[in-house]
Structure 1
């Protein structure tokens, strides 16, 4: 099963049954049913109930927007606290991910768990001014 459903797998001009929508996005039908309970609109005039592709795309985009956590310039996202936190001693490792991105990794000052933040490699100098940054060029994720 997909970790995150891709709204681009849905055609906005089509209508889908619950089963068809689940197959198109490679998720279970129970996931679609839970989305209906959470507010995904259905066409209930007759059976089988239909879902407008456009409505499903907007529903997924709204959920993705709501789940984002804005971070301040001096924060990383703590995986344990599920919130933006400053790293211990403002010390972070900069780990290259792709040719254009890097990941800042540190320890949460509140719980001691791992904190991360994805950044553009072009902005490494900006974050080096905020954090005590250690570049790990040899380590690729």
Structure 2
């Protein structure tokens, strides 16, 4: 499977050895032989041969080009499942729409293959096309803490609070 190496970790005005490059991408377990393979195939240009030293700008451009090859533009009715890494349409062509604060929509559905939750953002002007393409369910966004519920009522929020539960700021500390 393709591994994404973040080009923003590379400083463009620095020179790197193979070991330093592997240390930057230690979380992805980049092996030194992989970098040597990139140099040997001519995809990555080295400054010196022994030890192999590579400009940061060259590494950065190489990784950006490499990552760009694997990006895919989704069709309007497609979602990317992050669990099975497939491009899918929602199960039963049904989605729930959540309105964001800026007016855009978040469409939430289920993957056809692994039944995981899939999400995608749509613009406000695409609302009619969404309703024509999918079976939509308008989802009501609820707040985490409803001010009418008893769970949010504390002594700090109480209207009857006379400051009895809080220490006084004018009394000196007697301890």
Q: 4+ residue runs of structure 1 moved beyond 4 angstroms?
A: 95-103
Q: Residues 7-49 of structure 1, C-alpha deviation per residue, up to 9 Å, x if partnerless?
A: 12222222111232344x3526951532442555252634221
The residue matched to 1:31 in structure 2 has which SS?
A: coil
Paired with 2:102 and 2:96, the residues of 1 have a C-alpha distance of 17
- TM-score where L is the length of structure 1: 0.67
Structure 1 stretch 27-36 or stretch 96-105: which is displaced more? 96-105
Counterpart of 1:63 in structure 2 is 66
In structure 2, the CA distance between the partners of 1:12 and 1:116, relative to structure 1 (3 Å rule), is same
Q: How many residues align?
A: 136
Counterpart position of 1:114: 116
After the TM superposition, which residues 1-141 of structure 1 pair with which residues of structure 2 at under 5 Å, given as runs?
A: 5-23=5-23, 25-27=24-26, 31=30, 33=32, 34-38=34-38, 40-43=43-46, 45-79=48-82, 82-94=85-97, 103-109=106-112, 111-114=113-116, 116-120=118-122, 122=124, 125=127, 126-134=129-137, 135-138=139-142
Q: Is the 8 A contact 1:17 1:49 kept in 2?
A: yes
Q: Is the 8 A contact 2:84 2:114 kept in 1?
A: no
Higher strand share: 1
Q: 1 or 2 for the larger relative contact order (CA 8 Å, sep ≥6)?
A: 1
Unaligned runs of 5+ in 1: none
Asked if structure 2 preserves the Cα contact closer than 8 Å seen for 1:69 and 1:84, the reply is: no
Note the aligned Cα RMSD (angstroms).
3.6
Contact 2:47/2:54 (8 A) holds in 1: no
Q: Give the direction of change, closer, same or farther, for the CA distance of 1:29–1:114 in structure 2 (3 Å limit).
A: closer
TM-score calculated relative to the size of structure 2: 0.57
Distance in structure 2 (CA, Å) of the matches to 1:118 and 1:85: 12
CA contact (8 A) 2:111 2:118 kept: no
What secondary structure, in the 3-state scheme, does the structure 2 residue paired with 1:133 have? strand
Which structure has the greater CA radius of gyration? 2
In 1, the alpha carbon distance for the partners of 2:107 and 2:75 equals 14
